[in-house]
Amino acid sequence: MPDLQPGQNVTVNLIGLHIAEVEFGGSTTADGVIEAIDPETREITVRLNLSFSGQRFIIVSPARVSLV
């Protein structure tokens, strides 16, 4: 897995996630920027380049994130 750092541009795999009452399927992804990485849980906070009902941030596992 690449060394992920805050400030990097990434693509997030949204398949199976529920955001603002929307469930994503197929090959749904969204671009964003890493805002923070929790060193204990390794969860990544990403600021998305779009919003779902005003929600712009998402917290995901590293497996859902790819560098752009």
Residue among 24, 33, 22, 21 nearest 57 (CA): 33
Class of domain 9-67: mainly beta
8-46 per-position pLDDT tens digit: 999 998 877 766 555 555 668 889 999 999 999 999 999
What pTM did the predictor assign? 0.83
Q: How far apart are CA 50 and CA 10, in angstroms?
A: 13
